[in-house]
Amino acid sequence: MLDGHLVEVKRATKNTLNQVRTVKYLPIAVCFESIGGADSWYVIPAHVVVARVARKHRGQHTENPFESATLNLADFAAFKITDPVANLRQATLAAITESDRYQELRDEMATILTEARRLSMESRERVEAILQRLGIK
């Protein structure tokens, strides 16, 4: 949390960002720990993450890409922080402010999350009923 705002912080040792949960509509701060080199930081606004994930046909281990996705850090070179000690906080607050301008997109991600939770609950209930009827459970 930064100044009352949630921020997802991720660590990457390869160019891959795993389990990006776009439905949370959070900016992502990534510490890229390169082997033998200095750490690099990226701050990616939430709406930029949503736009990138929207191109995917399915998610990471899920049908819905907005629930969990894999992204390539190389696609976000424009969001690399040149001096993390001096600029990380400012860049993160700027990403929060910028993403807050897209309330309709934030609302849609909240709707998708609600629908995913509802589908999960309904699916479990249907399968549970079949299991009980078949005497499996």
Domain span holding position 129: 8-134
Would 62 be classed as within a structural domain?
yes
Residue 137 has pLDDT above 80, yes or no: no
Q: Residue 4 phi/psi, 5° resolution?
A: 85, 5
Q: Could you tell me the pLDDT band of residue 1, with boundaries at 50, 70 and 90? A: confident
Q: Give the per-residue pLDDT at 37.
A: 73
Question: What's the pTM?
Answer: 0.90
Residues 6 or more apart whose CB falls under 8 angstroms from that of 43 comprise 27, 28, 29, 30, 79, 81, 88, 91, 92, 94, 95
> pLDDT tens-digit profile of 51-109?
999 999 999 999 999 999 999 999 999 999 989 889 999 999 999 999 999 999 999 99
Written as six digits, the tokens of 37 are: 């080199």
The answer to whether position 77 is within a domain reads yes
- Residue 36: pLDDT band (50, 70, 90) is confident
Q: In the prediction, which pLDDT does 107 show?
A: 98
Do the domain assignments include residue 117?
A: yes
Tokens of 11: 């660590």
The answer to whether position 81 is within a domain reads yes
Tell me whether residue 1 is in a domain: no
Domain assignment of residue 17, yes or no: yes
Length of the chain: 137
Whether residue 2 lies inside any domain: the answer is no
Separation between Cα atoms, residue 26 and residue 104, nearest integer Å:
14
- Please state, for a pLDDT cut of 70, what percent of the chain lies above it: 100
Total of domains in the chain: 1
Residue 44 confidence class, pLDDT cut points 50, 70, 90: very high
| 116 located within any domain | yes
